[in-house]
Amino acid sequence: MLAGAGGVVAGFVAGNLTVHQSSVAGTAAVVTALSAGVDARHELFVGRDAQIEQLLDALALTSEGAAPVVVAGMGGIGKTALACRAAAIAAERGWFPGGVLFVDLRGYDLGDDVQPLQVFAPALRVLGVAGDEVPGTPDEQATVYHQVLDQLGAQQQRVLLVLDNAAAGSQVADLLPRHVVHRAVVTSRDFLVLPYAHRLDLDVLSADEAAQLLSDFLDHRYPGDLRAAREPRAAAELVAVCGAVPLAVVITASILADDLGLPIAELVEELTAADGPGVHRVAYGDQVVDACIEFSRQRLATREPEAAALLPLLSLNPGPDFASATAAVLAGRPVAQVRPDLRTLRRASLLRQDGGRWFLHDLVRLHARDHLDPESRDTALRRMLEHYRVIATAANRHLQAVPERPLPEEFPGRAEALDWFDAERANLVATVALALTTDHFETCVLLSGTLVRYLERRHHLVDWEIVARCGVAAAERLGIPAATGAALNSLGTAMQSGRRFDAAIPVLRRAADIFRELGDRRREGAVLSNLGLVLRELRLFGDAIAAHESGLAICREAGDDPGAASAVNNLGLALRAARRFDEAAAAHEEAVAINRALGFRRGEGQALSNLGLVLAARGRFDEAIEAHQQASSLSRQARESSIEAQALTNLGDVYRQLGQFDDALAAQRDAALLYRQVGDLHREARALGNLALSLRAVGRFDEALSVQHQAIALCGKVGDSDYQGRLLGDLGTTLLQAGRFYEAEAVLRASSAFSRLDGDARTEGSVLYYLGLALENLHRVDDAKATGRKALAALSECADRELEKTVRDWLNGLP
């Protein structure tokens, strides 16, 4: 029986196989004939539908020419299974009446590979040539082999050759049929040089397919084994640990099948333990993933030693992919020298490439790390950490560019710096953590601080908090209070941006205390300004104003004009929240003036946009529109897309208040698009929420509902439960206005629960009021009254007298 894993076929039915073995000295070649009509549908095979169709299309009667199809991929990924599966289906369909021949060329069994001269004789016997008619010499056998194939072709007796595990084109070139009706499928871990060959690159299974393979295997071995269904999370973890490589899934499934009392979760724990063997080394019988990779590596080492030596170094990169420049840094060689080695590793299926980035599969990474020399590892690690720090510092200089300050030459401009950050984000975040765990504390602190502006700009809040926490830990290990204070300020600001206000307050207060003790008034003022932002979000307006005023006073005392611009702008936000509009307007006007004098267009745009909010709140709509338009224009010139989007969002709100809905819709659509382009899903959701309100205002309910569903989905993705609750309330209100009362009731109940959990009494009261209206329209007056009383109770906590009066008047009007 032909063993196969992945994709996965256990082999052809033994009763339908004809096997012939060569008597030529050396490694025996086994040629297997698959009889026509074999039904392989009941074999253990999962997924690969698209690849099967691609392969069958290449084998179909309508295709022209005898070009072989090369199925390529790393060891254990299921190449043999796929080729055999397609061959079985083709045979069942009667496409190859001349026969389907299978031969394992054993190209990766070092020193034991099969050459064409060992295949001709057994192949001739399978093709029907009597034993005494098979010539005695390989050259004569080769001649007769092709004569027989040509005769079968002339008779339309099509033949399919499955040439498995070829390590070089020379193993198969002389075996390929010459007649145009015949077909050949070759499997290999390498890029074979074969004229006119079609290539089918095989990747790992999808997570769902790998989980299905695990479940099917267990049920196949012991019908009724339901562990995969009972432990879906552990099953998903197991296939993830296996990297969705079919062979690894089959090996771990075999271990489970041999121990019916072993929970999947326990096997996962065993495989992922720090002192465990690792899934790449786990064996079942003679099957082990590591052996597949090792054969490829050893074979490469004899032919391309520099490429083989590079592979372990590449495993040091902590992220999911890397650039050629990073590979060069790890190797300590120029990029031009390393690129050929990267291509060599790709041809050996030990490395993948996509969009100019290189990828190591997790199991290849684990194997490669086992071959790391400690001294080479430490040297390469230091080079890589320094590389990421230096380039990130240069990219960050572009994000913080100010007039008349020279910029690093590593990037042509800000856009290219952002592109680099986007491509390397996962590596950079992982590198910060790696620097901490490998005791490179100074690099950890420096890189953590360098990433703040980018992560804030792109709103990658989880990553921001991770690198900030690493920065705090590293600074504490270094014993440098100033670095600890800066990292704590970053952490607190990340928490505030993620709306974790209660957690942010003690962190920021500790940072302020550190700077106060150090006498660093400038940074103390900056932290106090950030603390004020948190207090404002908690509606502690008096405390927020006091914090901002203290921060502003300190910045002025220290002569820190940029800090003062930020502090006075933040003070304006708190004053507006406290409805002290005249003072808020004065604060934002001062922020505009300071930023303009400094040439900081980003800050000027922010301050103008905030000023527009104050002007709108005072009913000075024309001035508000002008302020938002100026903010948008300035931000566009400065390529500050996030600030431009915020200005457009605010501009759209003003237009909506004025009933200029076409203008409102245009501004809000532009804002949502800009946020999408910069990857700020959090603010994109808010822009979409505002867009939906304008659509609803003009009675375009279906469009409004669609946009609100998009916004709610985005909130779920970024974990913004606060705004998700508000959006649910807006969605429920849209359904209410559209006359869809039953749906409105369900959505508004969910929204009120969100608001209650978040402690947002005003939103809860508003949602309960609309829920009451829905109940009234459903003729459930008693329920409506009870809900209205709950709305009044919630509103009494937030002192919104206007809305409270609206609810009370409605209640009094109910029968």
Query: 10-residue block means of pLDDT along the chain (815 residues)?
Result: 32 37 52 61 71 88 71 86 89 89 83 82 86 82 90 91 89 89 90 82 87 88 86 90 84 85 88 73 68 74 87 91 94 93 86 86 81 88 96 89 68 85 93 96 96 87 94 97 96 90 95 95 90 90 92 89 91 92 94 91 91 92 94 86 90 93 94 86 89 94 94 81 81 92 90 71 84 91 90 78 86 87
CA angle 329, 75, 324 (to 5 degrees): 15
DSSP state letters, 331-350: HTS-HHHHHHHHHHHHHTTS
Q: How far apart are CA 106 and CA 3, in angstroms?
A: 13
At the top level of CATH, which class does the domain 612-706 belong to?
mainly alpha
Q: Is the distance from CB of 732 to CB of 770 less than 8 angstroms? A: yes
pTM for this one? 0.73
> Which CATH architecture describes the domain 720-815?
Alpha Horseshoe (1.25)
Query: 162 - beta bridge partners?
Result: 102, 185
User: Which pLDDT score, from 0 to 100, does residue 119 have?
Assistant: 87
User: Which pLDDT score, from 0 to 100, does residue 24 have?
Assistant: 43
Residue 287 has phi, psi (to 5 degrees) of: -95, 125
Decide which of 3.40.50.920, 1.25.40.10, 1.20.1260.10, 2.60.120.10 is the CATH code for 486-508+518-599.
1.25.40.10
Residue 319 burial by CB count (10 A; 0-12/13-18/19+): exposed, middle or buried? middle
- Tell me the CA end-to-end span of the chain in Å, nearest whole number: 82
Report the SS3 class of residue 258: helix
Give percent of the chain with pLDDT exceeding 70: 90
> Which CATH architecture describes the domain 290-371?
Orthogonal Bundle (1.10)
Stated as kind and residue range, the H or E segment containing 578 is none
Asked if 486-508+518-599 and 612-706 have one fold, the answer is: yes
- The domain defined by 14-201 carries CATH number 3.40.50.300: yes
Block residue for tokens 């509606």: 539
User: Which pLDDT score, from 0 to 100, does residue 285 have?
Assistant: 66
DSSP state letters, 202-237: --PPPHHHHHHHHHHHHHHHSTT--HHHH-HHHHHH
- What are the domain boundaries of the chain? 14-201, 207-272, 290-371, 373-479, 486-508+518-599, 612-706, 720-815
Q: How far apart are CA 711 and CA 683, in angstroms?
A: 10
Q: Is the distance from CB of 98 to CB of 159 less than 8 angstroms? A: yes
